[in-house]
């Protein structure tokens, strides 16, 4: 077993969480009116009962900014103290500038360097690890790490295979450099992985350089989500379980030590399969996908904030965060709360 991961100079801690979801609720009953589906099918196959849909004029950076403000308020951190903003998203406001630059402007965080990260549904944990490197090496002191998505802008509302799964929202954390060994919220380890051989099974194929929108394909929904659900499911369970084991080993911990698993909120059956294989009791999972569906990069920070504010997680708890998404990408992180 390898030693706990630490940097010779410093480490970093989560000092605040925040989230935001749009007001508009779309229930399974609402979807029954749009596509050939049933509440029974959606609930039994995924666990999802409803999802949030952003207003037409509500952007990913609007949601990201709202979540960030909540996290900063909890952390007691002023915009001027933030020197790094990373926004994990696949639904950026525009191709460029980055969504993170819009967030920087909206927060007035003028001392921050800001950029986006795309690792699909694993994006938040990729961003967390990236921020951690900036902090642990002494380059930056205080980071906002945000996952935010307006997936409703990528959904084909005629495709029942995918449109029932996704929702909009944002979650954020404030991560601060902290030299104290036992500081609360300390990130103990992070694992990341990719398999570019499987880019084809989960993608938005069009609308960018590979297949720009043209007069000819404008009606073909090329700029919407395509997923081979069963294949993605299979890989998700295997990769997420492995990533959990690796992150725990790197932190010098065992599955038994885990207080709460906060997994990417895509499918209740995936979460159940992972914890079952890890040997973690089902009651040690935190699940909110019934309310929000799959919010991609937003799902983990949204669940983390909800668990935190509800008092479900407490100081000293060992949290196991784990994500999986297009790429394929996967990541996991152990945090001592």
Q: Please identify which of the residues 101, 121, 142, 163 carries the catalytic annotation.
A: 121
53, 187, 270, 303: which one contacts ligand UT7 (CB under 6 A)? 270
Which region holds residue 230: left if phi is over 0, alpha if psi is between -120 and 50, else beta? alpha
Shortest distance, position 55 Cβ to ligand UT7, whole Å: 23
Shortest distance, position 30 Cβ to ligand UT7, whole Å: 13
Q: Does 17 bind ligand UT7 (CB under 6 A)?
A: no
Residue 121 designated active-site? yes
Q: Does 193 bind ligand UT7 (CB under 6 A)?
A: no
Choices 87-95, 100-108, 207-215, 266-274 (CB under 6 A): range interacting with ligand UT7:
266-274
Residue 104's H or E segment, with its range, is helix 99-107
Residues 137-166 that bind ligand UT7 (CB under 6 A): 160-161, 164
Q: Does 272 bind ligand UT7 (CB under 6 A)?
A: no
Residue 163 designated active-site? no
Shortest distance, position 39 Cβ to ligand UT7, whole Å: 10
150, 325, 327, 336: which one contacts ligand UT7 (CB under 6 A)? 325
Separation CA 289–CA 298 (nearest Å):
11
Nearer to ligand UT7, 63 or 270 (CB): 270
Shortest distance, position 325 Cβ to ligand UT7, whole Å: 4
| DSSP label at residue 3 | P
CA angle 305, 306, 312 (to 5 degrees): 105
N-to-C CA span, the chain: 23
198, 229, 242, 309: which one contacts ligand UT7 (CB under 6 A)? 229
Size of residue set near ligand UT7 by CB under 6 A: 20
Shortest distance, position 287 Cβ to ligand UT7, whole Å: 14
Of the candidates 73, 267, 261, 305, the one whose C-alpha atom is nearest the C-alpha of residue 170 is 305
| DSSP label at residue 295 | -
CB 146 within 8 A of CB 87: yes
Separation CA 61–CA 240 (nearest Å):
28
Residue whose tokens read 């980071």? 143
CA dihedral sign of residues 303, 19, 4, 183: negative
CB 47 within 8 A of CB 272: no
Supply 105's token pair: 């402007």
82, 236, 251, 297: which one contacts ligand UT7 (CB under 6 A)? 236
Q: Please identify which of the residues 156, 288, 294, 308 carries the catalytic annotation.
A: 294
Separation CA 216–CA 96 (nearest Å):
25
Displacement of CA 144 from its chain's centroid (Å): 14
Nearer to ligand UT7, 241 or 336 (CB): 241
Of the candidates 214, 194, 237, 128, the one whose C-alpha atom is nearest the C-alpha of residue 327 is 194
20, 233, 292, 337: which one contacts ligand UT7 (CB under 6 A)? 233
* Residue 14: CA count within 13 A, CB half-sphere: 28
Residue whose tokens read 């929202």? 169
Site mask, ligand UT7, residues 27-46, x = CB under 6 A? Answer: ----------x---xx--xx
> Looking at beta carbons, which residue is closest to ligand UT7?
229
Q: Please identify which of the residues 163, 244, 264, 308 carries the catalytic annotation.
A: 264
Residue 133 designated active-site? no
- Which residues form the interface with ligand UT7 (CB under 6 A)? 37, 41-42, 45-46, 121, 160-161, 164, 229-230, 232-233, 236, 266-267, 270, 294, 324-325
Q: What residues are annotated to the active site?
A: 121, 264, 294
């Amino acid at each position: 077993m390898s030693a706990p991961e630490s940097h010779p100079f410093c480490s970093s801690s989560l000092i605040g969480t925040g989230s935001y979801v749009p007001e508009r609720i779309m229930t399974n009953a609402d979807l029954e009116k749009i596509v050939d589906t049933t509440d029974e099918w959606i609930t039994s196959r995924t666990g999802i009962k409803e999802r949030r849909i952003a207003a037409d004029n509500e952007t990913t950076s609007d949601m990201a900014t709202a979540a960030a403000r909540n996290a900063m308020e909890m952390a007691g951190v002023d915009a001027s103290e933030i020197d790094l903003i990373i926004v994990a998203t696949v639904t950026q406001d525009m191709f460029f500038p980055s969504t993170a630059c819009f967030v920087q402007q909206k927060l007035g965080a003028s001392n921050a360097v800001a950029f986006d990260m795309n690792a699909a549904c694993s994006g938040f944990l990729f961003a967390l690890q990236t921020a951690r490197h900036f902090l642990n090496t002494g380059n930056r002191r205080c980071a906002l790490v945000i996952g935010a998505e307006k997936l409703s802008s990528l959904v084909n509302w005629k495709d029942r295979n995918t449109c029932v799964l996704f929702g909009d929202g944002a979650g954020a954390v404030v991560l601060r450099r902290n030299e104290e060994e036992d500081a609360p919220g300390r990130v103990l380890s992070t694992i990341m992985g990719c398999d570019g051989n499987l880019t084809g099974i989960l993608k938005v194929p069009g609308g960018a350089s590979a297949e720009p929108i043209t007069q000819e394909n404008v009606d073909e929904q090329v700029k919407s989500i395509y997923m081979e659900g069963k294949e993605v499911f299979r890989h998700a369970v295997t990769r997420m379980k492995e990533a959990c084991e690796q992150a725990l080993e790197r932190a010098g911990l065992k599955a038994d030590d885990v207080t709460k698993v906060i997994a990417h909120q895509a499918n209740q059956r995936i979460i159940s399969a992972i914890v079952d294989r890890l040997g973690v009791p089902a009651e040690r999972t935190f699940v909110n996908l019934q309310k929000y569906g799959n919010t991609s990069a937003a799902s983990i920070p949204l669940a983390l904030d909800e668990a935190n504010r509800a008092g479900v997680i407490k100081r000293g708890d060992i949290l196991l965060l784990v994500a999986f998404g297009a790429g394929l990408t996967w990541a996991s992180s152990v945090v001592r709360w």
